[in-house]
Amino acid sequence: MHHIEPYYRWRDRYISSKDARSPFYGRVYSEFEFSNKIYNYFIHPQWDEFGSPTLYIKVIFADYEAGYVIIEMLGEWNDCIQNDIMFLKQDVVDLMTEEGIHKFIFIGENILNFHGGDDDYYQEWSEEVREEGGWICFLNLREHVIEEMAQARLQFHVYFDAPFDEFNWRPYKPQLLFEKINTYMRNPSKLILPG
């Protein structure tokens, strides 16, 4: 687990700890000291904690003028016991929404498991962003995570699964990645996703 680090190739364009509008502004990271864990496994120190003991994130790009953010995730998402969505919504999403972010792209390939609970926070979040013309999208979730999210009925509030389950997003610059997804949200027939 400690070898999985957040995507770093956009750091010349954006660093959340240097963004005064980011919930993670001013954070200091160690490259050598591993202190955060998911269960008994240390994780790379660049991941940000936000209240969950098993789920970590990294804001890898934010554009306040265009109103979108790209967030990478790592760990086990547990709404059933830890109410991770509450922490994510209150301590990250709400702060970013106040700064004008209404379009959320989550990179989910390192979400190991999902345990659903009530969908109230998802419904509230979805309604809030849709009022502003926004949306919530998850890319590259593992097959069993897609099934777990579908069992929790999250498909009524967020976008995941096809065509977002095998999206090779890394070759793109953040603006182009956003434009491709935003184009799809406006007109689903226009999305051509790379394999």
> Domains in the chain and their CATH numbers?
16-190 (3.30.750.24)
Q: What is the pLDDT of residue 191?
A: 53
Q: What is the pLDDT of residue 90?
A: 97
Residue type, 39: Y
Q: What is the pLDDT of residue 32?
A: 75
Pairing status of strand 111-115 against strand 68-78: parallel
Q: What is the pLDDT of residue 30?
A: 80
H helix intervals, 10-141: 84-88, 94-98, 120-131
Cα separations (Å) of 96 from 88, 111, 131?
11, 21, 15
Q: What is the mean pLDDT of each run of 10 residues along the chain (195 residues)?
A: 87 97 94 82 92 96 98 97 96 98 98 94 96 97 96 95 90 96 83 51
